[in-house]
Structure 1
Amino acid sequence: MFEKQIPTSGEAASGPRSVNDPEVKRLLSKNSAPQSYHPSPSAWEDQLLYFLLPDRFSNGEEDGALDGVGKPFPGQIRLFNPKTDNGNAITPPENSKIWEENGIRFQGGTLKGIKSKLGYLKRLGITALWVGPIFKQVPNDEHLYHGYAVQDFLEIDHHFGTREDLRDLVAAAHKQEINVILDIILNHSGDVFAYKGGEKQWSGRSYDVEGFRDSSGKPTLQFRPLDLDSSPKNAQDCAIWPIELQAPNTFTCEGAISNWDNYPEFLRGDFLSLKDIGLGSDAPDNFTPTKALRTLCEVYKYWIAYADLDGYRIDTVKHMGDGPTRYLATTLHEFASSIGKDNFFIVGEVTGGRAFETVEATGLNAALGIGNVQENLWKLPKGDANPADYFDLFRNATYLKKGSHAWTRNKVVTMIDDHDQVWRGGMNKARFCSESQGDKLVLAALALNMMTLGIPCIYYGTEQQFDGTGGSDRYIREAMFGGSFGAFRSKDRHFFNEDNAVFQEISKICALRQRYAPLRRGRQYLREISGDGKNFGVPMKLGGRMQSIVAWSRIFADEEILCAINTDANYITTVHVTIDAELHADREVLKLIYASPTNGHGRVSEELAVQNVNRRAVKLSVPPGGFVMYK
């Protein structure tokens, strides 16, 4: 047993330092006292996710933001006023550099801040919160606000709060009927050691290591487990924790990846300065886990039990390999089931072209970044992609050789904006609202996201029409609470504005999604349209931007709901739309259940008469940049 507590910065360590610590063993023991855990959702396709980076969401000081019961909360940060505050951080222009540099530093968001905004998320319609990484980062580096450079996998980074703050957040979320998914890392740690002679590039061979880094970041410590009887100063800030990961064979030590698609380089190389952890063979059959993988499995089982978590999002699954991923998924699913979480959710970030295959081979519940879903979800509402390019990604008969159109309903997490935007590549990073009339089309885009197959996810700030642009990742990671790197080139202004029209319409759409099963679980069909009621076809992009109605049906248990967006941001559009001939009789009536925007657009009909054209069709109108649904 590991019972010695290692001090850090003059204070007692608050948590375990080993997976053999009595606290860890107690929580993971089958013989421990019974504890009531929050049950898993029956179906994850019923959920609406919201992803945030803890440093960039809330610090709990937003004046006038509404609490869990809708009461204004007093604070130090005023609500953003677009007329007076837009660009206040870059005025005069010489301040632009300061604002930009602040974008790669900690801003001050906390777990307590997230807890204070659960009411905001509940009223938006969110049912599952995906929280970016919160574990202790390599010390003395203010650029690690993103959380992906872990130095201690058993501790919460002090910038975000404490382990108790995490447990309190999850408990409060559960009271609001919000599940919590935590972002975790297995493929790599932070920059916890240095190579002899400086950083190396991958060449297929291992390199000599100068030593683990001490609390000041210098590689002065021997590359082996720390001697706990003569531990260095501030030992918890040294090397890597838990102590089991201090074994030299934890790391591949083969240098940084240069070719991100070269096998086995992408499996064994470092992520720039982030050091690769050896997890075991890529092949899933007859797999033997490394001690490092077994340790990390114990770590993440511990956090499930400690904080009552509902799921994990696993970072960089492509770089882990199928063998380690299957072992992890099996281990965590079995443990979660043993404590009553029978549908614990594990979603993997899978870049490249093997996402569907990875889900099938490893036992992950779902994947991110499948088959250009995000790219087409971004481009379609702007008229820059053919509707079929998006909808065909879900047609299993042609793409996946599956028997059901609905297989993908719970196998892919879909989102428009995110914190990486891998599909755009290089330094061309921006949010949806930054270009091509995105501010006018964002509601149509979010409706497409929420009302088509998959588990939808909203990236924080999209509901407030954030327009981050500038090239690198930093510009799509604005601080929702303002700080020194707020959205719209601002500072010291928050954005928890529940009067925002997009926020309010998303809330209405989410309520309808929860009310009607076809919108969550139904099969999906892209519909043919016609301008004259005679010549029908799927809308297509011809030359420039496609300005058209895009319509689709969700069908579940013989109930059809017809959905349509308008990619024309300036004019109302009217077309005939095909519907299911077997489910509808001539002259039957479909009734409007949602339309937006509504101001000044009286031609949106409350009822649509089914016509005997193209077998069965209705004639509908959609406002500019709008969305309608009929049932």
Structure 2
Amino acid sequence: MQDFLEVDPRFGSRWDLTELVAAAHKAGLRIILDIIFNHSGCNWLYPQDTPGGIYEAAYTLDRYPFGSWRGIDGRPVQAISGCDDAVWPQELQDRERYTRAGSGDLGAGSIEEARAEHKRSDFKSLRDFNLDSPGLLNDLARCYKYWIALTDCDGFRIDTLKHISFEQGRNFCGSIKEFAANLGKENFFLVGEIAGGDWAANRYLEALGRNLNAALDIGEMRQVLAGVAKGLAHPGAYFRGFSSDVALGSHRNLGNQHVSVLDDHDHVLGEKIRFSAYAASEAQVVAGVAMQLFTLGIPCIYYGTEQALAGPEDEERKWLPDWKASDRYLREAMFGPMHPRPGGVNSLDEQEDESMPGFGPFGTVGHHCFDPSFPIYRNIAAMAELRRAFPALRHGRQYLRQMALAEEGLEKFDFYGAGYEAGGRRLDGQIVAWSRILDDEEVLCLFNSHGSQNRSADVLVDAVLNRTNGMGSMTVVLNSAQEAIRPRRYSGAYRKGSKLMVKERDGMAYLEIRDLAASQVLVLASHPEREEGDVVHR
């Protein structure tokens, strides 16, 4: 960040941004802007004799002297002579408003400690604000209030919130909330990007209270979500996260404080690769997004997931020394430029750096990759519409469902899945099923977590609700195999609108699911909209 009150001209103008927000609102969309108040850009340099150098000085518990501001060309300047020098607005040009402690360990110290190393450190070469400086927090809040008033945006994603103390975060968010409410935006949405795992995210939600709406789920549960979708983790590992006795439990039960993440560039834990990088098939990502859309929480679908973007192509990966370790490979250019922009100030005048190839999807250049007819796109669109149509999928209670694997000789209803052993065999890659129940309505969601083999199971449903619905059946309201092609041409099993009879054994109600294809997703409802030509599977 160099100018907190201006749009980077590489992307457009303030007018362009306001027009974008207005067009989104006209289409029924809401806009959340990404903001940061922990640090600025590399707008000044440390003195020449500073340990570690002028860009990333070695961390100190004390404070280094200020060196010099940087001019438009990145070189030191004695005085600020224009809007492209140093940092703007003027309130941020006070050198006492920077911590000046150098670049330390961004994970060091307790998140409870207001002056822990991870809270004082520069973000590598990005300069940490000294938020204890009188008036600075208020001035930064005023910058972002300006963007609310100018653009009419609907919320902020707050970057690096873990690196802000609880009190500073609470005061900043409270100030933004009050300003937005005064403009009639009582539901202005603030979501925090909080590194450090699920416990850290929950702790900030507790400390900031009603001033922070939600936290991005970029900790352990992101990895578990991906593992369950690929049949590599037991579904209980994910659904136990909704219990009130675990780290994220208190806000997972509420749902509206948990933003689920499958793909993202903030992979603070685990390998920095997209879900589809090592997926068994393109279709496997549909199972992961189904978990996001149909379990408790606010689904956050990263750009390119709907096109199954997977980073560089397989043959390129062996030549990339930081493959799996750098977030650069999570940031393909979906619209496929032939060349990138040049670095530094030259990018303001020159459109492309013809000495470098563009970084497009799957190792391509100049290839447009946004395809609304792509099967994954079609499925995610259909699932999002289903979530909108069924309140139970947004607000219902949630239950992981037991099942019996009769074809495996396992007639006992249990929670089967990755790591489960029976008869000396591991039962990895089984069907994963859960119900969302709202009042007298049950919606059953399930998918085959195996990447290449069909799976079958008898899946428990609510015996009381499904005895009293007058039908004795549940209706298919989504079938990912059908959505992947032109739905009217689909001739396979579990066609949308068909019914499955609810069966009973030992007082337990269940549905027979047979030969569900690899990564196939089904959703069935006890109270669907009536459709003509219903077919019943017995």
Once residues 566 and 511 of structure 1 are traced to their aligned partners in structure 2, the CA distance between those partners, rounded to angstroms, is: 21
Structure showing greater relative contact order (alpha-carbon pairs closer than 8 Å, 6 or more residues apart) = 1
Please list, as runs of the form range in 1=range in 2, the aligned pairs for 1:132-151 lying within 5 A after superposition.
150-151=1-2
SS in 2 for 1:258: coil
Distance 1:509 1:278 in 2: 45
Match of 1:210 in 2: 67
Letter in 1 for 2:412: N
Instruction: Give matches, 1:142-291, under 5 Å.
Output: 150-196=1-47, 197=49, 198=53, 199-221=56-78, 232=81, 235-258=82-105, 260-263=107-110, 264-280=116-132, 290-291=134-135
Could you say if the C-alpha distance between residues 181 and 361 of structure 1 is closer, same or farther in structure 2, counting changes exceeding 3 Å? same
CA distance in 2, matches of 1:399, 1:536: 29
Which residue number corresponds to residue 572 of structure 1? 454
Partner of 2:140: 296
User: Counterparts in 2 of 1:383-532, with a 5 A limit?
Assistant: 383-397=231-245, 399=247, 402=250, 406-407=253-254, 409-424=255-270, 428-469=271-312, 470-471=323-324, 472-483=326-337, 484-532=358-406
Letter of the 1:298 counterpart:
R
- Deviates most, 464-473 or 476-485: 464-473
Among 404, 417, 421, the alignment partner of 1:540 is 417
Partners in 1 of 2:502 and 2:521 — Cα distance? 20
The answer to whether the aligner puts 1:334 opposite 2:185 as a matched pair is no
Contact 1:547 1:566 in 2 (8 A): yes
Contact conserved, 1:529 with 1:575, CA < 8 A, in 2? Answer: yes
1:337-368 deviation line (CA, Å, top 9, x unaligned): 11111100000001113211211211210001
* Structure 2 counterpart of 1:100: none
Counterpart residue type for residue 604 of structure 1: Y
Matched with 2:212 is: 364
1:398 to 1:486, Cα distance in 2 relative to 1, 3 A: closer
Change (3 A) 1:250 1:405: closer
- Alpha carbons of structure 1 residues 190 and 388: separation in structure 2 relative to 1, 3 Å: same
2:454 aligned partner, one-letter code: I
Aligned residues with identical type, % of pairs = 38
User: How many residues in Structure 1 have an aligned counterpart in Structure 2?
Assistant: 459
Distance in 2 separating the partners of 1:592 and 1:244 = 59
Aligned equivalents of 2:444, 2:162: Cα separation in 1: 37
Between the aligned partners of 1:388 and 1:268, the Cα distance in structure 2 is 38
Asked if the contact 1:479–1:485 (Cα under 8 Å) also holds between the matched residues in 2, the reply is yes
Q: Distance in 1 between matches of 2:31 and 2:201?
A: 23
**TM-aligned CA distance change 1:405 to 1:567, over 3 Å:** same
Q: 1:314 aligns with which of 150, 158, 163?
A: 158
Letter in 2 for 1:441: Q
Query: Take 2:195 and 2:295, find their aligned partners in 1: how far apart are those partners?
Result: 21
Counterpart-to-counterpart distance in 1, 2:174 and 2:105: 31
SS of 1:480 mapped into structure 2: coil
Aligned counterpart, 2:494: 604
Q: Check the 8 A contact 1:380/1:386 in 2, yes or no.
A: yes
Match of 1:423, SS state, is: coil
The secondary structure found in structure 2 opposite 1:354 is helix
Query: Which secondary structure state, in structure 2, belongs to the residue aligned with residue 494 of structure 1?
Result: coil
Q: Does the 8 Å CA contact 1:346/1:364 hold for their aligned counterparts? A: yes
Secondary structure of 2:169 counterpart: helix
Amino acid at match of 2:517: P
Residue ranges of structure 1 left out of the alignment (5+ in a row): 1-149, 227-231, 281-288
2:354 aligned residue: none
CA distance in 2, matches of 1:391, 1:400: 11
Is the 8 Å Cα contact of residues 194 and 210 (structure 1) preserved in structure 2?
yes
Q: Is the 8 A contact 1:448 1:565 kept in 2?
A: no
Aligned equivalents of 1:212 and 1:518: distance in 2? 56
- SS of the residue corresponding to residue 300 of structure 2 reads strand
**Alignment CA distance shift 1:522-1:157 (3 Å):** same
Report the secondary structure of 2:398's partner residue. Answer: strand
Mapped partners of 2:440, 2:30: distance in 1: 30
Following TM superposition, by how much is the alpha carbon of 1:507 offset from its aligned partner in structure 2, in angstroms?
1.3
What 5-or-longer segments of structure 2 have no aligned partner?
A: 111-115, 313-322, 338-357, 421-425, 526-538
User: Structure 1 residues 329, 397: CA separation in 2 closer, same or farther (over 3 Å shift)?
Assistant: same
Is 2:490 the counterpart of 1:618?
no
- State the 1:396 CA deviation: 2.1
Shift of residue 203, structure 1, vs aligned partner: 2.3
How has the CA–CA distance of structure 1 residues 244 and 184 changed in structure 2, closer, same or farther, with 3 Å as cutoff? same
Q: 2:417·2:427 contact (CA, 8 Å) conserved in 1?
A: no
1:105-120 equivalence runs, <5 A: none
Native 8 Å contact 1:318 1:349 kept in 2:
yes
Q: Report the RMSD for the aligned CA atoms in angstroms.
A: 2.1
CA contact (8 A) 1:394 1:405 kept: yes
1:351 is the counterpart of 2:195: yes
Q: Taking structure 1 as reference, are residues 480 and 371 closer, same or farther at Cα in structure 2, changes over 3 Å only?
A: closer
Cα distance, 1:508 vs structure 2: 1.2
Give yes or no for contact 2:232–2:429 (8 Å, CA) kept in 1: no
Give the Cα–Cα distance (whole angstroms) in 1 for the partners of residues 84 and 449 of structure 2.
Answer: 52
Distance 2:236 2:125 in 1: 41
Change over 3 Å in CA distance of 1:201–1:558 after alignment to 2: farther
What code does the residue aligned with 1:525 have? Y
SS in 2 for 1:535: strand
